[in-house]
Amino acid sequence: MSEIRNFTMNFGPQHPAAHGVLRLILELNGETVERADPHVGLLHRATEKLAESKPYNQSIGYMDRLDYVSMMCNEHAYVRAIEQLLGIEAPERAQYIRTMFDEVTRILNHLMWIGSNALDLGAMTVFLYAFRERENLMDCYEAVSGARMHATYYRPGGVYRDLPEHMPKVAETRWRKGKDLERMNRWRGGSLLDFLEAFCEDFFDRVDDYETLLTDNRIWKQRTVGIGAVSAERALQMGFSGPMLRGSGVAWDLRKKQPYAKYREMDFDIPIGVNGDCYDRYLVRVEEMRQSARIIQQCIAWLRENSGPVMLKNYKVSPPSRAEMKDDMEALIHHFKLFTEGYCVPEGETYAAVEAPKGEFGCYLVSDGANKPFRVHLRAPGFAHLAAMHEMAQGHMLADIAALIATQDIVFGEIDR
């Protein structure tokens, strides 16, 4: 038998599991990985430099396009940093809306993750199930912002507008009619809160369906149990956060440890793993979806009972209404100034972080007193996770690389920012 030699190969970027923008240089001994060297930079967007060239509000939309599966959570970190420098705080109703949509975003992210992860490892049905639920939540994005993905809904001082009283209905087409149309519109007879309430009541059963397909599935466990195990101590040393850290047994969650928005008022649990492998990280994310639905239900209950403004009445950072502009020349001037020049932020520096679906997403912001940031630096959770690829992959098989990329839940918009 001829001797097996070490050889080097490219995994990606033109590979389905590498998502088109990750290049891994793998050193293999047969099919066993001896070294994995990630090469980044194929999707360099210069988001931070672009943000430094524009008035503050004009960069909110860039945040959606970083981790484009965690849109509003990214906006939240950037907007919070601006608010800290300005010394302002959003109204209470806006804080509850932000909390609710952060959790809607978390479910959106984890649905995308569980579907694509299952697909990477050969399971098709879960992908279709997860995207069925995901479409409903993207309708909520569209209802409040007009966009299904890149919402630009959060603003310094609150949110763009209040929740709609009527949820748009699905229109009849040649493909959507009869019972199918009735099924798609059965939750859409009332407000967005009514729609989300019905979604959450149904969602717990849907998560059970995902678990029925995967959790005790023999093939799924063979592909994930013991793969990419990271101890709690090592996860902390490598800068892990989010489900990657909690999967290793560390109960660290910014929503509990450094509460922001209205998380202090919420009742929810932090799921943690035991072994720190791909299977544990899967279980953590599945349970996080249930906890997010619990938080959304609590926000819905409060928002039903409490009305109020969703934006500060401060013409420096928020536009006046049309009625106010008609009656007040000063309000009209503020309107034009806000949308052309923007507003000046006091000198200083700050760091604001949120518990994004993939981990700690932070924004370091420096102001020199001008109407645009002097420095913007974003802390992307996926960057630290990708740096651990060699350590997680060493000794595993080539086929396990797809499982490791999937378990890190990396999106290159934020890594190559």
pLDDT score for 5? 65
pLDDT < 50 regions, the chain: 1
1 within domain boundaries = no
pLDDT score for 186? 87
Q: How does strand 359-367 pair with strand 348-356?
A: antiparallel
What's the rounded Cα separation, in Å, for the pair 388 and 145?
Answer: 37
> CB-based contacts of 252: which residues, under 8 Å, 6+ apart?
241, 245, 246
2 within domain boundaries = no
Output the CA–CA distances (angstroms, integers) from residue 271 to 203, 204, 208, 217, 225, in the order listed.
18, 16, 16, 21, 18
What's the rounded Cα separation, in Å, for the pair 283 and 302?
Answer: 30
Lookup: tokens for 351: 């760091």
* Pick from 83, 407, 371: nearest CA to 245: 407
* Pick from 71, 78, 159, 104: nearest CA to 299: 104
Tokens 């994930």 label which residue? 224
CATH no. for residue 12?
1.10.645.10
Output the CA–CA distances (angstroms, integers) from residue 100 to 140, 294, 365, in the order listed.
11, 10, 25
Q: CA Rg, the chain, in Å?
A: 23
Are the CB atoms for 401 and 11 separated by under 8 Å? yes
pLDDT score for 3? 58
Three-state helix/strand/coil letters over the chain = CCCCCEEEEEECCCCHHHCCCCEEEEEEECCEEEEEEEECCCCCCCHHHHHCCCCHHHHHHHHHCCCCCCHHHHHHHHHHHHHHHHCCCCCHHHHHHHHHHHHHHHHHHHHHHHHHHHHHCCCCHHHHHHHHHHHHHHHHHHHHHCCCCCCCCEECCEECCCCCCCCCCCCCCCCCCCHHHHHHCCCCCCCHHHHHHHHHHHHHHHHHHHHHHHCCCHHHHHHHCCCCCCCHHHHHHCCCCCHHHHCCCCCCCHHHHCCCCCHHHCCCCCCCCCCCCHHHHHHHHHHHHHHHHHHHHHHHHHHHHCCCCCECCCCCCCCCCHHHHHHCHHHHHHHHHHHHCCCCCCCEEEEEEEEECCEEEEEEEEECCCCCCCEEEEECHHHHHHCCHHHHHCCCECCHHHHHHHHHCCCHHHHCC
pLDDT score for 332? 77
What's the rounded Cα separation, in Å, for the pair 417 and 409?
Answer: 16
Lookup: tokens for 382: 């996926």
Question: Structural domain tally of the chain?
Answer: 1
- The string of pLDDT tens digits covering residues 262-280 is 999 999 999 999 999 999 9
pLDDT score for 226? 94
Domain range enclosing 263: 7-414
pLDDT score for 41? 86
- The string of pLDDT tens digits covering residues 285-342 is 999 999 999 999 999 999 999 999 999 988 888 888 877 777 778 777 777 778 888 8
* Pick from 114, 109, 120: nearest CA to 69: 109
Please classify residue 131 by burial: count the beta carbons closer than 10 Å to its beta carbon, then call 0-12 exposed, 13-18 middle and 19+ buried. Answer: middle
What's the rounded Cα separation, in Å, for the pair 58 and 64?
Answer: 12
317 within domain boundaries = yes
Strand partners, 379: 362
pLDDT score for 1? 44
Strand partners, 352: 363
